[in-house]
Amino acid sequence: MNAEHARRLNELLATRPPILLIPHKNPDGDAIGSCLGLMHYLQAVGHQVSVLAPNDFPQFLQWMPGASEVIRFDRQPEAGAGLIREAGLIFTLDFNALDRSGALAEPLKQATAPMVMIDHHQSPDDYATVTYSDPSMSSTCEMVYHCIAALGGIGKLNADAASCLYAGLLTDTGSFKFPSTSPITLRIAADLMERGAVPSEIHRQIYDTNRPERIQLLGCALSNLKILPQYRTAYITLSQEELDRHNFRKGDTEGFVNYGLSLDGVILAAIFIENTDEEIVKISLRSQGDFSVNAMARAHFEGGGHINAAGGRSTESLKETTLRFESILSEYAKDLQP
Ligand code: 5GP
Ligand code: MN
């Protein structure tokens, strides 16, 4: 975060406005971690802060300090709309376009409060008074740390804030294995540990609190794995019937897509998950190296994301969607062929 960002942010905070923090729809560890991490910091320096999420987030993130204070717009639309109306400053965290906040997009477009975007996705929209966007960053949680540092507030980072920010660092870097993990990311992780985050416990809460059904759903997903060696690609499907059979809950399929990439030689992995309620197939794409799944998601699946991790959707059937996916691979043959 540069000095000009910090100066303008300080100005916005100086009047002590009621602050509202917003993560993207279907919030992940980085979205919830950055909201709650920033909430704990701002509260520690005397601000009035609320977190408003478009919808639910997975059980494996509910341990985060402050998680029970998050207000869900799908459950409490009137309270949520009131918070937006009354806010004097709104932070949007871990997304680059208001549409990514689902049903909150419309009320946010009507909001009169100035906005601050902190985000690491490519191509940020131009809606905020302060846009702190940096796609080279490992996570929005890392950016929140830099933001707090620029405000001179690192000394006010307590164990609750540190734990939430560490959780976002951990999840968005794939446990510090993605190339977005820099020496600075690791130094920040170390500092958060010194401020009270307990890495072994955070890792256990996120990755080792599975229900048996989830592991069995993983078995089902892996048995559906299809490998296309001519395109160094592997993909997984899960039908609504398979999800129902395993008592699917939000977050259960998190990380499944990465199993495709764990195959030797595979550089593009996908998962296609049927959602009959929303009448869509939700798509997650992952890649290794220079192949941009952000470009593929934008061009073919109404989505976006980062170069190596992106998502999107299709309104065709599961079968039609995977057939279309297979057929577009030839467009990328030059990059995908071994
Ligand atoms: P995931 O596959 O874990 O849902 O998402 C991977 C990345 O792609 C995340 O950074 C997420 O923000 C982005 N992403 C996922 N779904 C969508 C989508 O429908 N639209 C856009 N623009 N980005 C998405
Ligand atoms: Mn993120």
What pLDDT does residue 221 have?
98
Q: Is the CB of 312 under 6 A from ligand 1?
A: yes
In the structure, what pLDDT confidence band is assigned to residue 31 with cuts at 50, 70 and 90? very high
User: Which value does ipTM take for this structure?
Assistant: 0.96
The SS3 of residue 124 is coil
pLDDT at 254: 94
For 280-306, write each residue's pLDDT tens digit.
999 999 999 999 999 999 999 999 998
From 100, 236, 252, 292, the mutation candidate for ligand 1 (largest count of ligand atoms within 8 A of CB) is 100
pLDDT of res. 96 = 97
Q: How far apart are CA 124 and CA 129, in angstroms?
A: 13
DSSP secondary structure code for residue 310 in this structure: E
- Domain 212-336 architecture: Roll (3.10)
| CATH superfamily to which 3-207 belongs | inorganic pyrophosphatase (n-terminal core) (3.90.1640.10)
pLDDT (0 to 100) of residue 79: 98
d(CA 44, CA 34) in angstroms, rounded, equals 15
Q: How is residue 46 written in tokens?
A: 């005397």
**Is residue 313 lining ligand 1, measured as CB closer than 6 Å?**
yes
Q: CATH topology of 3-207 equal to that of 212-336?
A: no
Instruction: Look at residue 264 in the predicted model and tell me its pLDDT.
Output: 97
From CA 194, how far away is CA 178, in angstroms rounded?
23
Q: How far is ligand 1, taken at its centre, from the CA of residue 307, in Å?
A: 11
The tens digit of pLDDT for each residue in 39-71 reads: 999 999 999 999 999 999 999 999 999 999 999
Tell the residue nearest (CA) to atom 7 of ligand 1. Answer: 310
Q: Assess whether the C-beta atom of 180 lies below 6 angstroms from ligand 1.
A: no
Q: How far, in Å, is the centroid of ligand 2 from the Cα of 230?
A: 31
Contacts of 308 (CB under 8 A, 6+ apart): 178, 179, 286, 287, 288, 293
Q: What is the pLDDT of residues 136-185, one digit of tens each?
A: 999 999 999 999 999 999 999 999 999 999 999 999 999 999 999 999 99
DSSP 112: -
Computed over every residue of the chain, the mean pLDDT equals 97
Rg, Å, the chain Cα set:
20
Give the pLDDT mean for 265-271: 98
Two tokens, residue 227 = 């490998």
100-108: average pLDDT? 97
Nearest residue (by CA) to ligand 1, atom 13, is 305
pLDDT band per the 50, 70, 90 thresholds, residue 245:
very high
Q: pLDDT-based confidence at 13, cuts 50/70/90?
A: very high
286 in contact with ligand 1, CB cutoff 6 A: no
Question: How far is 185 from 46, CA to CA, in rounded Å?
Answer: 28
**Mutation choice for ligand 1 from 280, 284, 292, CB with most ligand atoms inside 8 A:** 284
Domain ranges of the chain: 3-207, 212-336
Whole-number pLDDT of residue 43 = 98
For atom 3 of ligand 1, the residue with the nearest CA is 284
Segment 110-130, tens digit of pLDDT: 999 999 999 999 999 999 999
State the closest ligand 1 atom to the C-alpha of 313, by its place in the atom list counted from 1. 19
Quote the ligand 1 centre to 116 CA distance (angstroms): 21
pLDDT attached to residue 273: 98
Identify whether the C-beta of residue 283 lies closer than 8 Å to the C-beta of residue 315.
no
Give residue 145's pLDDT. Answer: 98
Closest ligand to the CA of 58: 1
Q: Kindly report, residue by residue over 70-85, the tens digit of the pLDDT.
A: 999 999 999 999 999 9
pLDDT at 213: 97
* pLDDT value for 97: 97
Cα separation, 129 vs 106, whole angstroms: 18
- pLDDT for the residue numbered 330: 96
